[in-house]
Structure 1
C-alpha cells in the first residue's frame, strides 16, 4: 500500500511538472509581463502554445499578441554577450536559437561559443580528475612493480594534461565580457 501511494505521488508530481501554468496563474496572467519574463530568461516564444493549451483546458484564453509584444521586449535583455557567456559556461548551447534574428545575436553567439569552450575545458578537467583518482586507487592496490611504473606514467601524463588545460582555461577566461 505504501509503495502504491508513493508511486501515485510520484506520478502526480511528474504530471504536474508538465503544466506550463496553473489554472490560478492563468486567471491572473498579464500576458505582456509573462512574455517579457520568458524573453528575458531566454525561453522560446513558442512557449505561448503551452500556455494556450494549459489555460484553454481550464476555459481561459491567452493573449498571444500581448505575449509576443512582451517577449520581443524581454528577449533584447537576454541576447547579450554576458548572457551568451553565462549560457556557454553552463553548457547550454541550445539557447543560441532563441537569439537568432535578434539585434544582439552576433555578440551573444560569439560569447556563447567562447563560454562553450570554457565549459568543454572544465569538463575535460573533471574527467581527468576522475581518471587520476581511479588510477591512484589502482596504484595503491597494485603489487606488481611493472604495473606501478605504468600507472605512475599514466598519472604523470594526466598531470601534464591538467597543467595544459589550466593554462588553456586561463586564456579562455580572458575572453569573458
Structure 2
C-alpha cells in the first residue's frame, strides 16, 4: 500500500467515527479509498451488502464507488474478523453478528461467539440481580425509616408486612447471587 494511502487510512477511520450513523460521508466518498474502506468494514464484521448502501450514498455526491476494490478489501478484513478470539470478544460485548464468516473459520468464530455471548448474558443477569438488590435495600431502608416515624397502628402493620416481603426477596436474591461464587461482581466487568 502506498505511503499516502497509509496516512489517509487513520483519517478515514476518524471520519467514520465522527460521522456517527451515516453510512459514508461526502469526504470519504471523495477520498476514494475503497480497498481500505473494505478492509475496515470487513474487519468490523459488516456484511457485503454495505457496499450497495455506500454506493447509493456516494452517488448522491456524484461519486462512483469502486465496488470491486471494496469487495477485495472486505474479504481481507473479514479474515481479520473471523477468528475464535474475536468471536468471543464480539459475543462478550453483546454485539450482533452479520454472518460474514464462511467455511471453517465460521465454525471457529461461532464457537467463540457463542461462548462470549453466554458470558455476556450471565453478566447481564448478574447486573440485573445486583441492581434489584440495591433497589430493595433502598426500599427496605425507606420502610424502616417510615416505621420509626409513625404512630398509626394500621400504617405500622402495613409497613411491617412490606418490610417482611422486602427482606424475603432480599434473601432470595442473595441466594441467587451466591451462584456466582467467588467471581462476584469483578468477574463480569
Does TM, scored on the shorter chain, surpass 0.5? Answer: yes
Task: Determine the C-alpha separation between the residues in 2 that align with 1:97 and 1:166.
Answer: 35
Tell me the equivalent position of 1:19.
Answer: 22
Task: Determine the C-alpha separation between the residues in 2 that align with 1:169 and 1:87.
Answer: 22
Structure having the higher Rg: 2
Residue 162 of structure 1: how far off its partner (Å): 1.1
Tell me the equivalent position of 2:68.
Answer: 65
Residue 166 of structure 1: how far off its partner (Å): 4.4
- Give structure 2 stretches of 5+ with no counterpart: 1-18, 148-158
Task: Determine the C-alpha separation between the residues in 1 that align with 2:110 and 2:55.
Answer: 30
Q: Deviations over 1:116-147 (max 9, x none)?
A: 11111111111111211221122112234443
Q: Is the 8 A contact 2:42 2:78 kept in 1?
A: yes
What is the alpha-carbon root mean square deviation over aligned residues? Answer: 2.4
Q: How do 1:119-138 and structure 2 match up within 5 A?
A: 119-138=120-139
Task: Determine the C-alpha separation between the residues in 1 that align with 2:136 and 2:128.
Answer: 12
Tell me the equivalent position of 1:10.
Answer: none
Higher RCO (C-alpha under 8 Å, 6+ residues apart) = 1
TM-score (norm 2): 0.73
- Give structure 1 stretches of 5+ with no counterpart: 1-15
Tell me how many residue pairs correspond in the alignment.
Answer: 155
